[in-house]
Amino acid sequence: MARIISYPYDTDITDKDAWVGSDAATTRTKQYTAEAVAKYLNINGKISIGAQMVFKYVQQPLTGQGYFSITTGGVNNIPFASITTLTLSVADMGDQNTVAFLDYLVGSDILIGEQNEISIFGQYDVISYTVNPGNAGYYDMVVNHKGSNGSLSFDKYYDVINFILAADATDKTFIFNQGVPAAQWVISHNLGKFPSVSVVNNNKVLINGEVEYIDNNNLTVTFSAGFAGQAYLN
């Protein structure tokens, strides 16, 4: 065999190009393609990309590190639009502990996208993220669908990232007018979030009430006495 330095450099790398190395488990000499190495790096998160996690979609939840599924049991080719709950391993495929970061994203948006298929994705609000009652190595996530294309497929790998559309970057607000005096105001705002609420009467005096969020598009405000006025949501 000639000395390695005598071989020409190849700067035009293709998926099927290969080089020789040693298998860690057996120490046997094997060939490794560029495609296989790239897949390994992507799946296991060996190339650091800030705020990106990698999970494998499986049928049964609670069955392995880096796995995620529908909380009640995975369905193959389930449309992103029909998903409301997910169960995820504490650690992703790259052995990152994701709990603190995902807990931080409650109230924010995530994008779940299939690796190497940029047009297969789902965008969601994270409504809650709590430890699974049957296994502390997994967390249950409640999500609200915002937009998507495609579906989740068994044994595919998905990148999970924090995500916001440019149209959502400016904070959305809503002004509600209560024309008839009432002790409870029922407000449908369609902001797709859990906004702060400030209430004033017709004299522009701030009034305190008890806010109850029905979901991320509806809420009620209850007062000790009925009055008319406005609610400012942002």
Q: Which H or E run contains 79?
A: strand 78-79
Between the CA of residue 1 and those of 7, 85, 126, 225, what are the distances in Å? 11, 58, 58, 92
Do 82 and 181 fall within a single domain? no
Q: What does the alpha-carbon distance between residue 44 and residue 59 come to, in Å, rounded to a whole number? A: 20
Do 197 and 142 fall within a single domain? no
pLDDT of 167 = 64
Q: What angle do CA 67, 71, 72 make, to 5 degrees?
A: 125
Q: 190 in a domain, yes or no?
A: yes
**Burial 129-155, CB ≥16 within 10 A → b, else e:** beebeeeeebbbbbbbebebebbbeee
The model's pTM: 0.64
Q: 202 in a domain, yes or no?
A: yes
Do 161 and 118 fall within a single domain? yes
Do 91 and 193 fall within a single domain? no
Expressed as residue numbers, the domain containing 207 is 174-233
Which spans in the chain are helix H?
Answer: 34-43, 99-104
Q: 13 in a domain, yes or no?
A: no
Q: 155 in a domain, yes or no?
A: yes
Stretches in the chain below the pLDDT threshold 50: none
Do 162 and 178 fall within a single domain? no
Residues 111 and 80: beta-carbon distance below 8 Å:
no
pLDDT of 169 = 62
- What's the number of domains the chain is made of? 2
Do 108 and 54 fall within a single domain? yes
